[in-house]
Each structure stands twice: as C-alpha cells, then as structure tokens.
Structure 1
C-alpha cells in the first residue's frame, strides 16, 4: 500500500501542553509530520491519515535532543484553537 508524509509548521503564541506530554512546551513554531496511506477505488485515489508526529523542541529552539513524538491530530487542533482564543 502506498503512503506519503507531508510536513506543516504550527505556531503557538503561548506555552502549551498536549494530553500525552510530560511537560508544558514553550511558545514557538513546531514542525508536524502527517503520515497518510492511499485508499484506492476503481477510478479514484484518496488518502487517509494514519499518524501524526510533532518535532520537539520547536523550530529554532535549542534542546539536549531532537525527538519526534506521536500525537493525536484532534488534540493538536484543540490546542491550536485554545491558543488562538488566548
């Protein structure tokens, strides 16, 4: 089955925390990878998201290690919405 990965950058204006994070992350820009797999029909091709990962620390931030952490896209969307309302 074919798969693809796309990257986006999300911006937080205030510190944030996602449900499975051990600690609060600082405000800033964060790279997010979305992994999708192909859904093939008789005459069409679609894509279904099967995973998402955020890169820590954020873009341009220093940290002891770089890590890619799996996240729930709905949790990320909720955190971004909360950040926009702040």
Structure 2
C-alpha cells in the first residue's frame, strides 16, 4: 500500500469552529495535512483520502501546536462559512 501526504496552508479571516473540535480557533493560517492511499489494481494512478489533520495552537501552552484529526467535509464547511462571513 502506497501512502502520500499533501500539505497546504489554509487561511481563515475570522475565528472559526470545526465540527468535532470543542473550541473556537482564532483567525489565521493553518497547515492542513491530507494522507491518501493508492488504490491498487487500476491501470492508472488513483488515490483515496484516508486522513485529514490540521495543526492548531495548543491549549494552555503558549507557542506550542498540536495536530488534530478532522473530517475533510467539516473543514470545507468551516471554509465556506468563513468565506460567506467575509461578504457580510
């Protein structure tokens, strides 16, 4: 099984919530890591997402970060809400 990781930086312009996380996160840039595994047996390379994680400021420890597992749909929802708030 072949796994690849994709990293991207996502910026939120407003404080936001992601379902599954109990706290509000501040506006700012966040690193998101998506792990994908290759689907074997095909005549072309194809991958499926197996994990999505976001690096957030740690609670209680100033300057520390933690990587939390989140749902890709939940992340997309948070981005959509942030973008629509910018239009208000």
- Compute the TM-score of the two structures, normalised by the length of structure 1: 0.88
Structure 1: unaligned runs, 5 residues or longer: none
Deviation at 1:33, TM superposition (A): 0.1
Within a 5 Å distance, the mapping from 1:1-40 to structure 2 comes to 1-40=1-40
State the match for 1:73 in structure 2: 72
Mapped partners of 2:17, 2:64: distance in 1:
19
Tell me the alpha carbon deviations over residues 18-76 of structure 1, each in whole angstroms, 9 at most, x when there is no partner.
1111210000000000000001234211010000000012xxxx835321000000000
Cα RMSD for the two superposed structures: 1.8
Aligned residues: 83
Mapped partners of 1:25, 1:55: distance in 2:
11
The secondary structure found in structure 1 opposite 2:62 is coil
The secondary structure found in structure 1 opposite 2:78 is helix
Q: Judging changes above 3 Å, is the alpha-carbon distance between structure 1 residues 56 and 63 closer, same or farther for their aligned structure 2 residues? A: farther
* In the alignment, structure 1 residue 63 sits paired with structure 2 residue 54: no
Mapped partners of 2:42, 2:74: distance in 1:
34
Structure 2: unaligned runs, 5 residues or longer: none
